[in-house]
A and B are shown apart, each in its own frame.
Chain A
């Protein structure tokens, strides 16, 4: 049986004198009203989970810039808005046509304002052994197993993750059975419909890969707006997303995370990954959208000989703020991690990169590389970068670094002296900078479209 449940309010009325928390409490009040459908067998657990998350939130406050994790990202813009809960909205196929991926036309699951929308989804190409749908559709047997995974990855108490847990309206579920290899990429499309209301959506996804299974997945955040989503001038909204990914032994996931929120949107997203022995996880995180975005990408090693590859590309222009905080927490030997995060920053935009790699005593024979490269295109563009290695193991190979550069006059001159005009030369250099990451996206049409968007964003 599938049931629907909302939280009973647990909050006392807001007392005088805690203005700092007032905003968070308003958000809680808003989210506690959200219902979610699941099998009755797990409804009680889910209710308790949300209750506990709500309680956690009451113990915290909105991050401020004195918090080390939020030193460079100012949330006061976000807090100027009073958000309302995202309504259930009807969309038609033509509304999302531009957001689809040809290679995944028959392996696409669409979530509108966080809720699964079967009419827009097409999962006909998926082989046996993979479940894609929402929580209510997940078979009871798996729902019962979910209890030991869901919201268990470390960091679940972090304030925005907990807020999502309190208020997600649905869960995008992907469950790969043992030894199942899915050849066609799976597209999880999360669409926010931007109308007149200033809304908060809380998309949630859970991806479970059983031993020796393999999947390519595109997690895609986008908005349906009256105008071009890349432009500003639309109603603001906030996407507070959480995706949890579990790779069991020897599983492999190639995860492309494409953040293309509208230019007026706020995006705070968490990717939490648990990697068991010999599993291989690749993330291609592309951050182009939103007025303010924050991606918390956290990988927790749960067994030895794991491979983790994090590729990141941030394109920020206008007054955008684009923040990536990544963490790779190793705890077993023979781990291999490779991270390359690149940012292109134009106008008065501000990019932030903070990349932690923990290599404790247990993680002997780790091989870890991390590099952050930044290209500033205007005198007022800004980047704050903090590559951060914490090593206590004594037999490891670890490198990290950061570079900040601009397009050099000499580079332009070299190309010009070969008959290439200044604008084309500039594009060639920019394309090349972005291509190093884009070329790692395993889906050709997406790669091409992103290259066009990079071009459109950065050449004027």
Chain B
């Protein structure tokens, strides 16, 4: 492929209309001194001539030779004059010039820069993108020429930036000023570091340019800080979504039965291990559809966790009604048994659950703000589950019964609501939602026997802040706590953030002991 390309270029070069290269730098390519070679390469690059591409490529491929005082390209059996591109007689004993690593690097960036003049838009775009991080002042004229020729808007924008970066070292203060102004529009940390030397007297003698640079750095800084905060808020949103999935189930079971299920975190774990199980099944039996394991895991995790929940409710919790504190202990015991069972079944080590290919990567909003797909999908998934739960609670008969039992168990029983069955159903539902939370959690954190423990305290806090048996409360509390804790983490560290949130919750409860959204009613206790 490369050979044919060279051949094509050679053909073009042999056309009489094509002006030949300046022989002096071509000769210098074969000089003894590395610095001389580098200078020659740079000089040739400046011409932006297709012939220069041909010669530099030949040099990079070790087919450039020195025969006497002539520089020749030897391609297999044929020899060409490097300057003119004409075919010549095979020289007797050609000498190969040394091409060391420094020269190779120089050649590579020269060739990359010359790609800016490629006929293909894709190649030009790729080259322009690549250039952004390696602009040197010498490239300024080259970039200016490329900019002149360029018609594509996207590439033009990139080239303008690159040109401005190259121009920062221009001797003309006006050109520098222009460059700084152009760069002030960007929001990339690399450009900020390029501009930084100009904000000091040693780096920039001209006052006007310096002030402009200081303003530019400030502008970039504020945009960077904003992007960082947006990123934090977003990761808080995704943390809040996970908390929400954990807390929804807790809120339902606490509302209906007045008990706190300490094994709720382990139901998350059950969901996560169910996801792991589905991944293993798909790997073993349907490796071609491996990306589909996650959608398949959603119902599996829901029902696995719900089943565990039903067993828990029927065997233990049912017998402890009215003894809420003891239920706390019994469910803690259940959680220990579940953790140890997971250790025995799957080993004490974390298991590996990988993101499906469609969840990797992310949307680059700004150079330092990338929203990963897995987190976006988790937020969407949580919203979807929330919607389903809302429909279930507000639009179905089961939901009506659940709400009735939450408000007044005795009265609901009197009018014929099967309260015992509703308890089981509500508990299974809460457990199933926790299982869904486990699916989501498996995509962003480790899956191991202890994973549920880390989220349980936070989920409880959500329920405490949000109020009992209130979906709206759980939603606001989960998202609020998630975002608040991530923002706090940003400038105070994770531990201080956790502690200050706890203090805030205790203060908050002073004001509103029933949470944000208290049930209205005439309860004594």
Q: Are A and B physically bound partners?
A: no
- B residues lining the A interface (CB < 8 Å): none
